[in-house]
Chains A and B, each alone.
Chain A
C-alpha cells in the first residue's frame, strides 16, 4: 500500500493516499479558520458590549469614518474573492495561464485594499483621531459646528472607545490581509513553476479558504463599523 504511494508527486511520506492528504489539509485549514473565528470573536464580543453600552458614541464614531472608501474596499475584497475562486477553478481544470492570471489579479486587489486602508489610517492620524492618549484630540462640535470631523463634547470619550475598536478590528484584519498577500506571492511562484494541476491543487484550494475567510470578516466589519452612523450623514 505504501509502496506505490511513494511515486505520487506532492504526496508526503506519512500519508497513505492523496485523498487522505487532501482531506487532512482541508480539515486542518477549516479547524484553523475556526480558531481565527474565535480570535476575531473576542473583538466582536468587545464590540457588542460597548456598542450596546455607548450607542450614541458608536453612531458618531462611525459617522467619522469614510464610508465611500469602506464601500470601495468591500467591493474590491469581494471581487478578489471571486478571482480567487476562479483561480481554484482554473487549477482544477488545469488551465495554467488562467491560474497565474487570477492569482496575480487577486494579489493586486489585495494591494489596492491595503492602499486604501493606508489612506484611511493616515487621514485619521491627520485629524487627530488616532485614539492613543497622546494623539487623540478631535475637534469639538460645540466649538466648530460645521466641521465634518467634529465630535460632541459629551461623546468625546465614547467616540474614542469606538475608534479603538475600529483600529483594533481593522488592524487585525489588515494584518491578515498582509499575511494573505505573502501567501499569494508563494502560490504565484509555485504556479509559475507549474506545480499545480487537476490532480494536485490543494495548496491553491486551502489558500483560497483562508482568503475567503478574510473576506467574510470584512463583510461583517463593513456594516458594523462604517454604516452604524451613516444615517447621520444623510440628515445633513
Chain B
C-alpha cells in the first residue's frame, strides 16, 4: 500500500467515528458503516443474552430425569425460543452484520458500503423483527421447534406461530440487504490495486456469505409467509388434510436453512484465516484454495438440503444424491482446515487471545464437521436422526465454530473498533474457560445421542442422568466463560490503554488507519501494491505513509 494523494490532519488531534458527536440521534440516524456495526453488536449481544437464558433453563431442566422444573409445554417453548433467537437473531447476523459491517469497507479501502441508507434500514428492519420476536416471547412464545414443521405448526400448535413467522419474514430482509450491500461493495468499490486475489480471505468469506443470503433468504421468506397464511386461512399448501404436502414445506425450509448454516460458519472461517495469518506472521498456505473453498462451500451448500429429510417421505434415491453431495461439501471445509494447519506449521506463533480462539476453532470445528459425515450417511442417520448426537454436532459447528470465531474476531479487531486494548490475561483465561466448558457441555451429548437420547424431550430414563449432569455442569462453566468477555471488554472501554493503529503488526488496509478509524475511514486514498498477507512489507508501508504525512 502506498500513498497516492494528500493526507489531511495528523493523528494526534484525530476526530474519529466515535468522538465526532455523542448524541443519541447521531447514532440512530447514522449512515456510517462503523456505527451501524456497533449498533448491530449491541443488539445481537442482547439477543445472545436472551437466548443464553433459555439455554440455561434447558440445561437446568435436564439435570434430573423427571421433568420437574418446567412443564412439558413450557419446555417446548423454551427450546424453541432458544433456537429461534440464537439462529435468526444472533448467529446469522453475528459476524456479517457486526464485524463485516465494520471491516468490509475498511479492508476494501472504501469510505463506506455502496448503499449506506440501505445499511441503516437493514438495522431498523432487524430491530422491528426483533421487537416482534420479543413480543412473541412475552405473549406465549412458540412451541414448534425452530423448524416450524407443519402440520403441527399450521394446525395443532397453540402458540404464536403466525407472529413468529412474520417476525422471521421481516428479519430476513435485513439479512438480504446486508448481503446485497456487501456483494455490490466488494464488486465495485475495491481500492486501486486491490485485485480479487489480493483481498483478505475474510472478504472472500463475506462474499460467499452474501451469495447465500441473497439467494437463500427469499425462499425462507416466502415459505414462512405461506405458513402464516396456511395457519390463518387454511390455504392447504402444507396441510395434508386439505390436499397439501408437508414434505414440500421441508424442502422449501431447508433450501434456505441448510445454506444458512454456512451463513453462520463461512464468516467464522474468514475470521480464522485473518487471525492465523497475523498471529503466525505467515501468508495463508494455499491462498487461492482457501478463497475458492469458501465459494465452493456456498455453492455446494445449496445442493445438500435433503440430508435433513432422510427420515421424511423423501425419495431414497434422491436421498442418495443428497448424501453424496453432502460428503462432497466436506472437501472444501477440509481444504481450509489443512491449509490453516499448514500455515501454523513453522510459523512464529504468538499465543494472544485471538490465536487461542483460532486454535480452539480448529479443534472444535473439525469434530463438528467430522460428526456431520456420520449424519450424512443415510443408514446411520436413521439411528442418529433427532437424537442428541445431532444436537451435539450442530452445537460443535455453531458454538465451537461460529461463536468461537466471532469471539476471536471481536478480540482481534476490538482495538480497531474501540481504540482500547483489553486485558490480555483475562482474555486468555476466558478463552480457555470457554473451550473447557464447551467441551464438557457438548461432548457428553454425542454419547447420549448415540445411546438413544432423543432431542427435544424434557424427561428421560435415569441411566442418562450422569451424562446430562456433566453436560449441565459444563454449561454453567460455559456461561461463566461467556460472561467474562462481556465484563472485561466493557471495562477496557474505560480503563484500557489506548491502542495503536496496528497493535498486532498485521497486514491489511484496516490496520493502515488510526484506531478507532476517522470518519471516512482513511485520511489518504489507499492504493494496494502488495499481495495479501505480505507481512514483510508492513513496516515499509507504515514508514512510507508517515513520511508523506510529515511532509504534508
> Do any beta carbons of A and B sit within 8 angstroms of each other in the complex?
yes
Q: Which residues of A contact B184 (CB under 8 A)?
A: 24, 27-28, 31
User: By the criterion CB–CB under 8 Å, are B110 and A39 in contact?
Assistant: no
Given A13-B111, A23-B188, A35-B214, do A46 and B226 touch, yes or no (CB 8 Å)?
yes
**Is A161 located at the chain interface by the 8 A CB criterion?**
yes
| Shortest Cβ distance from residue B217 to the other chain A in the assembled complex, whole angstroms | 7
A124-158 CB contacts (< 8 Å) to partner B = 131-133, 157-158
* Size of the chain B interface, CB-CB below 8 angstroms: 42
Q: How many Å lie between the Cα of A54 and that of B242 in the bound state?
A: 13
Q: How many Å lie between the Cα of A93 and that of B218 in the bound state?
A: 37
Q: How many Å lie between the Cα of A179 and that of B180 in the bound state?
A: 20
Q: How many Å lie between the Cα of A34 and that of B226 in the bound state?
A: 20
User: By the criterion CB–CB under 8 Å, are B236 and A160 in contact?
Assistant: yes
A36-83 CB contacts (< 8 Å) to partner B = 36-43, 45-46, 49-50, 53-54
Segment of B244-252, B380-388, B456-464 engaged in the interface with chain A: B244-252
Q: How many Å lie between the Cα of A164 and that of B243 in the bound state?
A: 12
* B218 interface neighbour in A2, A15, A42, Cβ under 8 Å: A42
Given A14-B116, A20-B188, A133-B234, do A168 and B218 touch, yes or no (CB 8 Å)?
no
Per-residue contact bits, chain B 214-253, to A (CB 8 Å; 1 contact, 0 not): 1111110111001001000111110000111100100110
Q: Which residues of B contact A165 (CB under 8 A)?
A: 237
**Chain B residue nearest to A172 in the complex (CB):** B222
Q: How many Å lie between the Cα of A42 and that of B217 in the bound state?
A: 11
User: By the criterion CB–CB under 8 Å, are A24 and B243 in contact?
Assistant: no
Q: Which residues of B contact A158 (CB under 8 A)?
A: 243
User: By the criterion CB–CB under 8 Å, are A49 and B236 in contact?
Assistant: no
User: By the criterion CB–CB under 8 Å, are B222 and A43 in contact?
Assistant: yes
* B180 interface neighbour in A23, A31, A43, Cβ under 8 Å: A31
User: By the criterion CB–CB under 8 Å, are B248 and A46 in contact?
Assistant: yes
**Is B520 located at the chain interface by the 8 A CB criterion?**
yes
* B243 interface neighbour in A14, A31, A37, A161, Cβ under 8 Å: A161
Q: Which residues of B contact A34 (CB under 8 A)?
A: 214-215
**Is A1 located at the chain interface by the 8 A CB criterion?**
yes
Given A46-B226, A54-B243, do A35 and B237 touch, yes or no (CB 8 Å)?
no
Main secondary structure of the interface of A (DSSP, over half): helix
Q: Which residues of B contact A189 (CB under 8 A)?
A: none
**Is B161 located at the chain interface by the 8 A CB criterion?**
no
Q: How many Å lie between the Cα of A20 and that of B181 in the bound state?
A: 14
Q: Which residues of A contact B248 (CB under 8 A)?
A: 45-46, 49
| Shortest Cβ distance from residue A100 to the other chain B in the assembled complex, whole angstroms | 26
* A14 interface neighbour in B112, B216, B242, B252, Cβ under 8 Å: B112
User: By the criterion CB–CB under 8 Å, are A42 and B520 in contact?
Assistant: no
Q: Which residues of A contact B185 (CB under 8 A)?
A: 24
User: By the criterion CB–CB under 8 Å, are B218 and A36 in contact?
Assistant: yes
| Shortest Cβ distance from residue B185 to the other chain A in the assembled complex, whole angstroms | 8
* A39 interface neighbour in B222, B233, B244, Cβ under 8 Å: B222
Q: How many Å lie between the Cα of A36 and that of B176 in the bound state?
A: 11
| Shortest Cβ distance from residue B506 to the other chain A in the assembled complex, whole angstroms | 25
Q: How many Å lie between the Cα of A160 and that of B233 in the bound state?
A: 12
Q: Which residues of B contact A49 (CB under 8 A)?
A: 245, 248
| Shortest Cβ distance from residue A105 to the other chain B in the assembled complex, whole angstroms | 30
Q: Which residues of B contact A160 (CB under 8 A)?
A: 236, 242-243
Given A35-B180, A46-B237, A133-B234, do A28 and B114 touch, yes or no (CB 8 Å)?
yes
Given A24-B188, A28-B180, A46-B248, do A164 and B235 touch, yes or no (CB 8 Å)?
yes
* B111 interface neighbour in A14, A41, A132, A168, Cβ under 8 Å: A14
Per-residue contact bits, chain A 162-187, to B (CB 8 Å; 1 contact, 0 not): 00110010000000000000000000
Per-residue contact bits, chain B 159-191, to A (CB 8 Å; 1 contact, 0 not): 000000000000000001000110111011100
**Is B321 located at the chain interface by the 8 A CB criterion?**
no
Q: Which residues of B contact A131 (CB under 8 A)?
A: 235-236
Q: How many Å lie between the Cα of A138 and that of B237 in the bound state?
A: 19
**Chain A residue nearest to B232 in the complex (CB):** A132
Q: How many Å lie between the Cα of A157 and that of B229 in the bound state?
A: 17
User: By the criterion CB–CB under 8 Å, are A20 and B189 in contact?
Assistant: yes
**Chain A residue nearest to B241 in the complex (CB):** A157
**Chain A residue nearest to B215 in the complex (CB):** A38
**Chain B residue nearest to A32 in the complex (CB):** B180
Given A20-B189, A24-B189, A28-B184, do A35 and B236 touch, yes or no (CB 8 Å)?
no
**Is B341 located at the chain interface by the 8 A CB criterion?**
no
**Is B287 located at the chain interface by the 8 A CB criterion?**
no
User: By the criterion CB–CB under 8 Å, are A28 and B236 in contact?
Assistant: no
User: By the criterion CB–CB under 8 Å, are A38 and B219 in contact?
Assistant: yes
User: By the criterion CB–CB under 8 Å, are B187 and A39 in contact?
Assistant: no
User: By the criterion CB–CB under 8 Å, are B520 and A14 in contact?
Assistant: yes
User: By the criterion CB–CB under 8 Å, are A28 and B243 in contact?
Assistant: no
User: By the criterion CB–CB under 8 Å, are A157 and B217 in contact?
Assistant: no
A72-119 CB contacts (< 8 Å) to partner B = none
**Chain B residue nearest to A36 in the complex (CB):** B218
**Is B451 located at the chain interface by the 8 A CB criterion?**
no
Q: How many Å lie between the Cα of A50 and that of B222 in the bound state?
A: 16
**Is B5 located at the chain interface by the 8 A CB criterion?**
yes
Q: How many Å lie between the Cα of A43 and that of B5 in the bound state?
A: 52
Q: How many Å lie between the Cα of A100 and that of B127 in the bound state?
A: 38
Q: How many Å lie between the Cα of A2 and that of B525 in the bound state?
A: 8
* A164 interface neighbour in B189, B215, B236, B245, Cβ under 8 Å: B236
| Shortest Cβ distance from residue B270 to the other chain A in the assembled complex, whole angstroms | 20
**Chain B residue nearest to A132 in the complex (CB):** B233
* B223 interface neighbour in A13, A37, A42, Cβ under 8 Å: A42
Q: How many Å lie between the Cα of A31 and that of B252 in the bound state?
A: 21
Q: Which residues of B contact A37 (CB under 8 A)?
A: 218
Q: How many Å lie between the Cα of A27 and that of B214 in the bound state?
A: 13
- Residue from B110, B216, B236, B251 whose CB has the most chain A CB atoms within 10 Å: B236
Q: How many Å lie between the Cα of A165 and that of B237 in the bound state?
A: 9
User: By the criterion CB–CB under 8 Å, are B112 and A35 in contact?
Assistant: no
Q: How many Å lie between the Cα of A2 and that of B116 in the bound state?
A: 18
A-B contact pairs, 23 of them (CB 8 A): A2-B5, A2-B525, A20-B188, A24-B187, A24-B189, A27-B184, A28-B180, A28-B181, A31-B183, A35-B218, A37-B218, A38-B216, A39-B219, A39-B221, A42-B219, A42-B222, A42-B226, A42-B252, A43-B226, A49-B245, A133-B234, A161-B243, A165-B237
Give B contacts to A, CB under 8 Å.
4-5, 110-112, 114-116, 176, 180-181, 183-185, 187-189, 214-219, 221-223, 226, 229, 233-237, 242-245, 248, 251-252, 520, 525
Give A contacts to B, CB under 8 Å.
1-2, 13-15, 20, 23-24, 27-28, 31-32, 34-43, 45-46, 49-50, 53-54, 131-133, 157-158, 160-161, 164-165, 168
- Beyond A38-B215, A43-B226, A157-B242, list 14 extra A-B contacts (CB 8 Å): A1-B4, A1-B5, A24-B187, A27-B184, A34-B215, A38-B216, A39-B221, A39-B222, A41-B222, A46-B226, A49-B248, A50-B237, A164-B235, A164-B236
The 10 closest A-B pairs by CB, nearest first: A42-B222, A39-B218, A14-B112, A38-B218, A14-B111, A24-B114, A24-B188, A164-B235, A28-B184, A35-B218
